[in-house]
Chain A
Amino acid sequence: MTTEILKNIARFILLVLMQVLLVQNINLTTYVILLPYVLLIIMLPFETPKLVVLFTAFALGASIDYFYDSSGLHASACTIMGFARYYVLKYIAPREGYDAGVQPTIEDMGLAWFLRYAGTLIIIHHFFLFYLEVFRFSEFFRTLLRVMLSSVGTFGLIYLIQFLFFTKRVRT
């Protein structure tokens, strides 16, 4: 259990640093904003209590806020995402529920499941993030476009990271 906690704390720090030092400087267009730090919430073990998920999400969002100077924006979006995770997991659970010792990765759960799971969470996160940032409905469709494109971008990057760092097949 403690190793899990330590692993996740390490992931927390690494993902925040990666986001803040590397990904922040990738300027594709204003429509595609990459936010792979949400991978932390996605990869929390299935068994994590929902309150822990909630607080972890809040802490993650707040950390990013400090670096981005956005004062509560990411914290809010991440908290919503953390809240939704519980319900999403319940909704798309396989018939027998989740096996013990299985991780929410592509390797363990398959791409289709991961697409539904992570994709939904990412879209929820980005949706609330971008609309809160704009804070008005006048740019509704432009923001919607941003949400869609950024979600695709973030998912792509997360897929890449999963493939590079969390695939056991490569190591053997």
Chain B
Amino acid sequence: MKSLFAFVIKYNFIFVFFFLQIICAWLMVHHQGFQGSHVLNSSNMAVANVYRTAANTKEYFSLKQENDRLGNENAMLRNFLKTNYTILPLKQFVKNDTLYKQQYSYISAKAVNSSVNKRRNFLTLNIGSEQGVKQDMAVMTTDGIVGIVTNVSANFSSVMSVLHKDVRVNCQLKKDGSYGPLVWDGKDYRYCLLTDIPTHAKIKAGDTVITSELSGIFPEGIMVGTIESYERRQNESFYTARVKLSANLKKVNHVYVINNRFKTERDSLEAQTQKQIDD
């Protein structure tokens, strides 16, 4: 026994070395990741504190950048505050007219003011230039046409209703395409007059009237009304038809403003051609 101790003490260096290596091996084997070894538990506080202090110090170097980022995020989040918004059901959807490759986009709006009892009737819509409304845009409801935008402010617009002395919308008979201007005679808000229908057109009561592409303002095919009656006036080679409007202009509420994307181009081209003809 004694010689064993003497042996160990003589070679203590090597024995201690192996002893420490066994401890290291135990530590390595018991490396469990999350739980770790019990040995490391209390000391981890010290380690964590050192790292935490270092991280706090490093944070100071990026303060300006972090402040800028937080400022921008605050501004963006403020924009979402409900108090910033008036409830505006603004929906836009796009219709692709493949025939003429025109693009019509529809802006949803509400009529806040409308009249039917004057000779020149107007509506006021709750959207304006900031929502993309421009002069001469067409206005319709789901039932039929309503009018044409005439004045635009930032958030409101004025619409000349079809019940307006100076409004002429070019419409056509759905069944054979005979077209003519739609005007209002000022008498009944439910009826307009479709004039200049050629006599060879097979017109009948109950025929559907829709917008024609010649209007330049309305897209083709929007419902206008139905033929109530027609007559051939004296000294005229055309029919004049009484059209019952499909849209009830006394109760206009939800409307669509139609944006014809190609309109400016078309208008300038037509003006150019007109100018050339006149010269």
Contacts and interface: CB of A to CB of B under 8 A. Distances in A.
A132 interface: yes
Given A21-B54, A71-B31, A76 B24 contact: yes
A125 to B, nearest CB: 13
Contacts of A80: 21
A76 B23 CA distance: 9
A75 B12 CA distance: 19
Interface stretch (A50-58, A88-96, A162-170): A50-58
A50 B16 CA distance: 10
Contact of B16 (A17, A20, A21, A54): A54
Contacts of B44: 66
Interface in A37-79: 50-51, 54-55, 58, 61, 65-67, 70-73, 75-76, 79
B40 A51 contact: no
Which residue among A17, A50, A73, A76 has the maximum number of chain B CB atoms within 10 Å of its CB? A76
A83 interface: yes
Contact of B47 (A66, A73, A86): A66
How many chain A residues sit at the interface, stated as a range, is 20 to 34
B50 interface: yes
B50 A71 contact: no
Contacts of B20: 54-55, 58, 75, 79
B129 interface: no
A73 B27 CA distance: 8
A83 B17 contact: yes
A75 B39 CA distance: 14
B21 A50 contact: no
B45 to A, nearest CB: 10
How many chain B residues sit at the interface, stated as a range, is 20 to 34
Nearest to B43: A66
B28 A72 contact: yes
Which residue among B12, B24, B37, B47 has the maximum number of chain A CB atoms within 10 Å of its CB? B24
B29 to A, nearest CB: 8
Given A17-B50, A51-B13, A66-B43, A76 B36 contact: no
A71 B12 contact: no
Interface string B111-140: 000000000000000000000000000000
A65 B17 contact: no
A134 B169 CA distance: 84
B50 A54 contact: no
A72 B17 contact: no
A132 B36 CA distance: 19
Contacts of B17: 54, 79, 83
B214 to A, nearest CB: 72
B175 interface: no
Nearest to A67: B47
B250 interface: no
A20 B24 contact: no
A58 B21 CA distance: 9
Interface string B2-30: 00000000001110110011011111101
Given A51-B13, A51-B16, A58-B20, A65 B27 contact: yes
Contacts of A70: 31
Which residue among B14, B20, B36, B43 has the maximum number of chain A CB atoms within 10 Å of its CB? B20
Which residue among A50, A70, A71 has the maximum number of chain B CB atoms within 10 Å of its CB? A71
Contacts of B54: 21
Given A51-B16, A76-B21, A79-B21, A67 B50 contact: yes
A76 B26 CA distance: 10
Interface of A: 17, 20-21, 50-51, 54-55, 58, 61, 65-67, 70-73, 75-76, 79-80, 83, 86, 132
6 contacts: A70-B31, A71-B28, A71-B36, A71-B40, A79-B20, A83-B17
